[in-house]
Amino acid sequence: MMRFGKVRTSLSPMRPLGRRDIFCSLGQVVRTLLLFGLFCTGMLIAAHANARAETISVSDAQFRTFVTGLWPDARKAGVSRTTFDTAFKGLTPDPSVLKIIGRQAEFVKPIWHYIDSAVSPTRIERGNARANELQPLLARIEAKYGVDRYIVLAVWGMETNYGGFSGKMNVIRSLATLGAAGHRGGFFREQLIVALQILEQRHIEPQNMLGSWAGAMGQTQFMPTSFMQHAIDFDGDGHKNIWTNIPDALASTANYLAANGWIRDWTWGYEVRLPRGFSLRNVELSEYRGFEQWSKAGIARADGKTMPRTGEAALVLPAGRNGPAFLVTRNFQVIKSYNTSSAYAFGVALLSDRLAGSAGLQAKWPVDAPVLDPKQSLEMQKHLVRLGFPVGELDGKIGEKAQSAIRQFQRRAGLEPDGFASVPLLEKMRMHP
C-alpha cells in the first residue's frame, strides 16, 4: 500500500522560500494527490466490481420481464412462437448460476495444481482407452480437418472427461438468468437467441439441451454461437448433435480449431531448456521468432530431440523463471481460442502429448513458491494501475494483459522480466513509489 506523509523538500529551514521553491513544493503535493486519486479510483472500481459479483441476483419479476422483452428479437431471428413458449415453459431464474461467476479453476488455481488435475493419470488412462476405441474415427477427422487427433482428444478430455460429464443444467434457463442479470452486457442475451434458433432447427429437444452454468453445451462445450458457426453433422443423420453423438462432437471440435487457424502438421510447441545465464531482458515473451533463432540463442528441446528447422515460436514461462519453459507455436493460440486461459491451453497441450506417448514434463513446477490469492492478485492489479501499467479489468485474475504489465514493471525495476505474479513481487510493488 502507498504511504502518505509529509511532503519532503530539499529546502533548508533557515532559508526563505522563493517562487521556484514554492512551485516545486506544490508540484510534489499535486503529484502525490494525483497518485492517491488514481489509487483510490482503482480501489473503488474494484470494490464496486466485487460488491456487484457478491450481490448480483435476479427476481422472478425481472426474469419474466426479460423473457417478455426477448420475444421481438427472437421472432426477428426466425424463432417461432411455439419454440419460444416451449423453451421457457415453467422456467424461473437459477440462483446457483450467479454464485459461480468468477470461480473458474483455470483462473484461480496455481497453474501447477490446475495441470496436475488436467493431466492426471486417470485422465490419461481414460484418454488412451478412448483413442484405441475410436482410432478409425479420429483418423478420418484428422485427415479431413488437419487437426492433430490427440489435440482433439485432449480438448474432449478437458471439457467433459471424454463425454463423461457435459453438464446437467438447462441451457435456456442458465442463459436467461445471466441475460436477465445483465452479466457481460448483451453477450448472454445474444447467446440465448441463438440457442433458441438451434431449437427451432430441431438439432436437439429443449429438455435435452443441457450444459454448464454459462451455457456451454454438450461434449464439446460450445456456446450457442460457436455451435451455429462450427458444429458438424459428421455422421450425416441430419442433426448436429454435440450432446450424445461422438462423431459429431469430435468433428465439431476439429472444425472449430481448423476454422480458428490451426496449422496442419504443426505442433502446439515444446518444453525447452534455457541455457545458463540466459537473460529475459532481451526477449519479449509474446514475440515469435524462428526456431533456428531460438536454437542459436542456446535454447534446446527438453526431450533432447532436434528443434524444427522451419517455423516460429514464442517463449512462454507460465510459472516464471523457476518453472518449466516452453516454445509455443501459433497453434497454441488456436487452443486458447477455445478458452482464453493459458493454464487451460497448457492443460490441453500437455495432455495431448501424454496421449501421444510422451513421458511428460522434464522440469519441475515451483510448487513451494508463495503465490497470490485472489485478494492479493487484485491488489497487484491496483498497484500496476497506480504505476501506470494497464491491466484491463480489475477482477483479481492475472491474465495476459496483467502479465504484460508485470513484465513492464519488472523491467523498470531492474528485475528479470518473467511476468510471474508472486508474493515477493507484490511486496516490491507495495514499496515502489
pLDDT for 313 beyond 80 = yes
pLDDT of residue 270: 98
Measure the CA–CA gap between 433 and 386, rounded to whole angstroms.
9
Q: Kindly tell me if the per-residue pLDDT of 48 is higher than 80.
A: no
What amino acid occupies position 140? R
How large is the average pLDDT for residues 346-359?
97
Q: pTM value?
A: 0.84
Q: Which residue has the cell 529546502?
A: 11
Q: pLDDT band at residue 104, thresholds of 50, 70 and 90?
A: low
**Are the C-beta atoms of 219 and 156 separated by less than 8 Å?**
yes
Q: Which of 362, 383, 361 is nearest to 433 (CA)?
A: 383
In order of 226, 264, 286, 339, the CA distances from 260 in angstroms are 11, 12, 19, 12
The residue that leads in pLDDT, 3 or 220, is 220
The C-alpha torsion from 176 through 181 and 184 to 190, rounded to 10°, is 30
Helices (H), 212-245: 224-230
pLDDT exceeds cutoff 80 at 33: no
What single DSSP character describes residue 369?
S
Confidence of residue 44 (pLDDT cuts 50, 70, 90): very low
Give the cell for residue 56. Answer: 448480483
426 is written with which cell numbers? 507484490
The mean-pLDDT minimum among 116-125, 142-151, 277-286, 326-335 falls in: 277-286
- As given in the structure block, the three cell numbers for residue 55 are 450481490
Under the banding of pLDDT at 50, 70 and 90, the label for residue 30 is: very low
**Predicted local confidence at residue 108, as pLDDT:** 62
Q: What is the pLDDT of residue 400?
A: 87
How far apart, in Å, are the Cα atoms of 202 and each of 105, 109, 174, 208, 241? 34, 39, 20, 11, 10
What burial class does residue 427 get, using C-beta atoms within 10 Å of its C-beta: 0-12 exposed, 13-18 middle, 19+ buried?
A: exposed
DSSP string, 60-117: HHHHHHHHHHHHHHHHHTT--HHHHHHHHTT----HHHHHHTT--HHHHS-HHHHHHH
Q: If DSSP codes are grouped into helix, strand and coil, which group holds residue 271? A: strand
Backbone angles phi, psi at 119, to 5 degrees: -115, 50
Residue whose C-alpha cell is 438468468: 177
DSSP states of 292-312 as a string? HHHHHTT-EETTSPPPPSS-E
pLDDT higher for 4 or 230?
230
Cell of 308: 524444427
Nearest-angstrom CA–CA distance, 206 and 171: 9
CA distance 348 to 325: 16
Task: Provide the pLDDT confidence category of residue 103 given band limits of 50, 70 and 90.
Answer: low
Average pLDDT, the chain: 87
Between 22-26, 63-67, 191-195, the lowest mean confidence (pLDDT) is in 22-26
Q: What's the pLDDT score for residue 415? A: 95
